[in-house]
């Protein structure tokens, strides 16, 4: 028994050390990005972004945001497209990794982006495309809308309550379609329908109502003017943190049903009874603090407006992760139950019974359970919100200055200035990443 306990203790230390080290490095890179140190954040994430490493794909998603902030939108687009394709090609189950996750925890499984992350990969691909030639932006936006619709259908099939509300369309996708259709100067009906969808999905985004009126009237812009779109990734976005969650009735029912099905497949007709498990470790959405509320913009020293929230990424993540929580808890319950059963069988095989058997089962099961970690791997450099400002400016050269605005509306930090060239009747896109007071402008090329 002492030998068994020693082995478990060693495994616990190794697993805890490897997992926590990776998390600390990623957190360090994310903090460096927020305070404006692109060199440190890039170098740290580049070392972690290896396909077969435990945190490799999560680090690669973050690295794409660093590349975009550095002005290399083409590299960010290529990286996100490669990740999208690899995630889409992943099998539903990987038996070896699934077995390993029962022995350890869900971090042994291949990283699979959550539903909201799958949608945001496609949304950010559209943003990256706008920062380059824009040719694929509409296609990416439609992919984001389609993936959200697929997630809603999958959730509905599983009996998830309020699936259509939890997975309602994100406003960014139809908005970008409207912007791009309107820019053709002839597909105004398509643009108007897209903007109308934005008003129903995100009624608090007031500019969409004016967009509907303008597109319905068939006027892209006033003669002699171009249109500047400031598309801003504002605030520090959702990350996952480990919490202890009480086992709910719904989660226990899901776990019991699955375990009974597995038992029946194994030839055991006896109903499976779950052990008494009060709580398990699960990932929960957390929004890191950031003081920026919006961005204020000036053209040639004259105020031209403030960005407004089009898509609340933090709320999207929170809503979807909470909706999936019964299944997340159920998986943790099944893993814990499997471990406790394994320990009990091992104790019997060792001939331990009575007080010795109980002590062995309690000690080993407790040690084994303590090495578990909730799977908190995630795309941690997503913004809290995607905000937009649309403004018409005369054709020609302009200097655009941007400031982070705090909750009281006052500017924070030093701000940035960037030149833009407006063309009569055409759109110009200025992509901005503002995790806090630091602002990274990315001019379309």
What's the DSSP call for residue 435?
S
8 Å CB contact between 438 and 34: yes
Question: Which segments of 188-324 does DSSP mark as H helices, in order?
Answer: 188-201, 207-217, 249-265, 313-323
Q: How far is CA 68 from the centre of its chain?
A: 16
* pLDDT the model gives residue 165: 85
- DSSP three-state, residue 110: coil
Token pair 């972690």 in the structure block, residue: 48
* pLDDT the model gives residue 340: 57
Q: Across the strands, what pairs with 312? A: 385
d(CA 261, CA 273): 12
What's the DSSP call for residue 241?
E
Question: Token digits for 297?
Answer: 């913009």
Asked if the 2-443 domain carries CATH number 1.10.1060.10, the reply is no
User: How does DSSP assign 41-62, residue by residue?
Assistant: HHHHHHHH--TTSTTHHHHHHH
Question: Token digits for 263?
Answer: 């038992």
Q: Across the strands, what pairs with 403? A: 296
d(CA 227, CA 427): 5
What's the DSSP call for residue 106?
G
d(CA 124, CA 352): 57
Token pair 């940035």 in the structure block, residue: 416
8 Å CB contact between 395 and 194: no
8 Å CB contact between 251 and 323: no
8 Å CB contact between 439 and 416: yes
**For residue 299, what is the enclosing H or E element?**
strand 294-299
Using 70 as the pLDDT threshold, list the residues of the chain that sit under it.
Answer: 1-22, 92-108, 259-274, 339-371, 444-445
* pLDDT the model gives residue 364: 46
Structural domain spans, the chain: 2-443
Tens-digit pLDDT profile for residues 339-361: 655 545 555 555 555 555 455 45
- DSSP three-state, residue 216: helix
Token pair 């008494």 in the structure block, residue: 276
Give the angle 66-125-421 at the CA atoms, nearest 5°: 80
Calculate the CA dihedral of residues 25, 382, 439, 230 and round it to 10 degrees.
160
Calculate the CA dihedral of residues 396, 427, 119, 234 and round it to 10 degrees.
40
* pLDDT the model gives residue 381: 97
Tens-digit pLDDT profile for residues 261-298: 665 655 555 656 667 778 888 999 999 999 999 999 99
8 Å CB contact between 129 and 140: yes
Question: Token digits for 146?
Answer: 């389609």
8 Å CB contact between 413 and 404: yes
Q: Mind spelling out the 3-state secondary structure of 163-217?
A: HHHHCCCCCHHHHHHHHHHHCCCCCHHHHHHHHHHHHHHCCCCCHHHHHHHHHHH
């Amino acid at each position: 028994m002492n030998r068994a306990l020693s082995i478990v203790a060693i495994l616990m230390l190794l697993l805890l050390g490897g997992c926590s080290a990776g998390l600390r490095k990623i957190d360090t890179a994310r903090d460096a990005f927020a305070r404006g140190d692109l060199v440190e954040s890039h170098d740290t994430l580049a070392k972690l972004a290896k396909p077969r490493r435990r945190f490799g794909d999560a680090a690669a998603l973050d690295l794409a945001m660093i590349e975009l902030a550095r002005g290399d939108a083409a590299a960010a687009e290529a990286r996100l497209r490669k990740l999208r394709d690899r995630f889409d090609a992943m099998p539903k189950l990987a038996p070896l990794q699934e077995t390993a996750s029962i022995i350890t925890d869900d971090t042994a499984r291949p990283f699979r982006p959550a539903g909201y992350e799958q949608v945001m990969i496609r949304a950010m691909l559209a943003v990256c495309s706008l920062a380059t030639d824009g040719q694929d932006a509409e296609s990416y936006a439609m992919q984001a809308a389609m993936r959200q619709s697929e997630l809603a259908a999958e959730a509905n099939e599983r009996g998830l309550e309020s699936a259509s509300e939890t997975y309602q369309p994100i406003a960014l996708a139809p908005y970008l379609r409207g912007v791009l259709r309107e820019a053709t100067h002839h597909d105004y009906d398509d643009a108007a329908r897209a903007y109308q969808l934005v008003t129903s999905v995100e009624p608090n985004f007031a500019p969409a109502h004016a967009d509907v009126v303008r597109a319905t009237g068939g006027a892209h812009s006033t003669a002699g003017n171009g249109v500047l779109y400031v598309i801003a990734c504002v605030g520090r976005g959702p990350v996952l943190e480990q919490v202890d969650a009480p086992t709910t009735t719904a989660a226990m029912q899901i776990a019991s049903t699955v375990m009974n099905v597995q038992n029946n497949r194994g030839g055991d007709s006896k109903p499976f009874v779950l052990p008494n498990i009060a709580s398990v470790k699960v990932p929960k959405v957390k929004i890191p603090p950031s003081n920026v509320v919006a961005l204020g913009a000036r053209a040639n020293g004259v105020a031209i407006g403030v960005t407004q929230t089009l898509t609340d990424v933090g709320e999207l993540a929170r809503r979807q992760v909470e909706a999936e929580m019964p299944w997340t808890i159920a998986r943790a319950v099944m893993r814990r139950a499997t471990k406790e059963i394994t320990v009990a069988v091992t104790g019997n095989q060792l001939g331990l019974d009575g007080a010795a058997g109980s002590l062995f089962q309690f000690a080993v099961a407790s040690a084994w359970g303590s090495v578990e970690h909730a799977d908190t791997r995630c795309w941690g450099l997503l913004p809290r919100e995607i905000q937009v400002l649309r403004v018409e400016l005369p054709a020609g050269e302009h200097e655009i200055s941007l400031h982070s605005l705090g909750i009281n509306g006052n500017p924070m930090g030093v701000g940035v200035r960037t030149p833009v060239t407006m063309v009569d009747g055409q759109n110009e896109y200025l992509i901005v990443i503002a995790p806090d007071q630091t602002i990274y402008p990315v001019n379309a090329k």
